[in-house]
Structure 1
Amino acid sequence: MPADASPAPTTPADALPALIGERLRRARTERGLSLGALAAAAGVGKGSLSEIEHGARNPTLGTLYALSGALGLPLSWLLAERVGAQVASPGITARLLDAHADDAGTVEVYALRLEPGREHTSAAHGPGVVEHLVVTRGRARVGAAGAQVTLATGDATTWTSDTDHTYEALDAPADAVLVVRTPA
């Protein structure tokens, strides 16, 4: 993880795309990747990636996870560890509550809002990444694809997220707290 991974203050929502773009461009160039190479590795269009890097496009949660995975970085690094930073994809919104990195790895804490009728599939994260989820309101089906569990308010589950995994509210919107542990 880059040296500037200490927690930072909140960022206005309108400043977040530019900040994400700056961080993406820096991480890509530090790794010696061309725009096309990162786009291909993440499964993102080259034009879309260029717009994201220039702060002209507000990326979805799914796109940011694909890019952070291709770069080998936690999502919170792309969000500059900005508490309150919020990203969404259809059916899911994630708001960063906390992020901490040390020699053992990174721990990220997100508040999730899941909307019914939309299953969100998250692509596999790096080796050894573990997710812990507690439903704080409603019911949801979550977990590794093919091994999802149904949880009600107060229920929790854990899975290794090195395979595709899904989140889906059942019946009504659901809220959850997600802790993602990424080893160093």
Structure 2
Amino acid sequence: MTAASEGIARPALTEGAADVGRRVRELRERRGMSLSELARRAAVGKATLSGLEAGTRNPTLDTLQAVAAALDMPLTSLLTSPTTLRGAAVQIQVLRVFDDGPVTYELCHMRIPAGLAQRSPAHHAGVTEHATVFAGLLETGPVDAALRAGPGEHVEWAADVPHTYAALGDVDVEASLLIRYPRGGL
């Protein structure tokens, strides 16, 4: 596994950063939250958040996840359309978002190149993730209690703690990822 991949900060979006910034500002203001308060809750720099809202910064996946968690919302609530998001190792293509009363589900296709890994920040309270592997060997779940799954296997975990994703071995991981979010405060 490439340890360097855990520290690489890549922009999450190939396009649409300005739209995401406008959406973050709208959601923050709707909650009556100052820029400083959201930056503190998300544990991101105020300058980073300001640049994101202004559309002059393309955020990392970790930044988007931290902001969504601080707003108690699904990640896709920050996006204006389904898209592909990239982290240090993980590439996620949002296929569909389902709103089912008190719960929102994000269905994604996940790809992790062989030998790469990344750590993701905690989602808001009650969020769970469910992965079904089609190819490769996936190691995922809470950082201190990672799970493994191969082709045809399914794993699930509480994602309201820092968690990890890794493609073990020499085959890229291809999997579905279903993220279940209990309804936040909006």
What is the TM-score with the length of structure 2 in the denominator?
Answer: 0.85
Unaligned runs of 5+ in 2: 1-12
Shift of 1:102: 3.2
Report the identity percentage: 36
Q: Which amino acid aligns with 1:109?
A: L
Task: Trace 1:74-113 onto structure 2 (pairs within 5 A).
Answer: 74-80=74-80, 82-83=81-82, 85-113=83-111
Segment drifting more, 18-27 vs 149-158: 149-158
Q: Which amino acid aligns with 1:17?
A: A
Q: Which amino acid aligns with 2:31?
A: R
Match of 1:176 in 2: 175
Q: Distance in 2 between matches of 1:26 and 1:70?
A: 14
Match of 2:140 in 1: 142
Q: Over residues 107-128 of structure 1, what are the superposed CA-to-partner deviations in whole Å (9 max), with x where a residue is unaligned?
A: 1011111134432112221222
Task: Trace 1:4-19 onto structure 2 (pairs within 5 A).
Answer: 13-14=14-15, 16-19=16-19
Unaligned runs of 5+ in 1: 1-11
Segment drifting more, 117-126 vs 155-164: 117-126
Q: Does structure 1 residue 38 correspond to structure 2 residue 22?
A: no
Q: For this pair of structures, how many residues does the alignment match?
A: 170
What is the TM-score with the length of structure 1 in the denominator?
Answer: 0.86
Q: Over residues 33-81 of structure 1, what are the superposed CA-to-partner deviations in whole Å (9 max), with x where a residue is unaligned?
A: 221211111111111111111122211111100000001110011113x
Q: Which has the higher contact order (CA 8 A, sep 6+)?
A: 2
Detail structure 1 runs of 4+ shifted over 6 Å in the superposition. none
Q: Does structure 1 residue 130 correspond to structure 2 residue 128?
A: yes
Alpha carbon RMSD of aligned pairs, Å? 1.6
Q: Distance in 2 between matches of 1:139 and 1:152?
A: 5
